[in-house]
A = this chain, B = another copy of it.
Amino acid sequence: MWLQREITLEPRPRGFHLVTGEVEQALPELSQLDVGLCHLFIRHTSASLSLNENASPDVRRDFETWFDAAVPEDFRGWTHTLEGPDDMPAHVKAMLNGVSLHVPVVAGKLALGTWQGIYLVEHRRKPHSREVIFQFIGSRKA
């Protein structure tokens, strides 16, 4: 079976946000699925999707600190500065993190590891609503 639809993630400030619960709530169909693959695709160039540690808020803060240091707003090479000092760093961070997420489904649940959670990463200072296309391919429960 094939399932495709769009979900909207609410605006969030810049940072690494744990959204596993919000994603699962937006996908009531999950419980009816058996095995297969979920694909989440964020339709933006300055926000990204990723998977990482789901417990400690300090991990998510440290991610932000490292990315801000690695892709600084005051990097001297930027020429695309018309949209603000956070725009070009947002594009680079989004490329490093990626816009597609793939999670196996096993017995009607996202088969995340014990410590894995879904991150929405907002790279702009100003919160934006973010559109995500959800797709599932696999089998439905008997």
Contact = CB atoms under 8 A, between A and B. Distances in A.
Contact of A116 (B44, B77, B115): B44
B103 A88 contact: no
A42 B52 CA distance: 11
Nearest to A133: B104
Given A36-B2, A91-B53, A100-B102, A58 B80 contact: yes
Interface string A101-135: 11110100001111110000000000000010101
Contacts of A92: 62-63, 66
A62 B77 contact: yes
Contact of A139 (B2, B50, B59, B113): B2
B52 A111 contact: no
Nearest to A65: B77
A32 interface: no
Contacts of A2: 35-36, 138-139
B69 A77 contact: yes
Contacts of A135: 36-37, 104
A77 B66 CA distance: 7
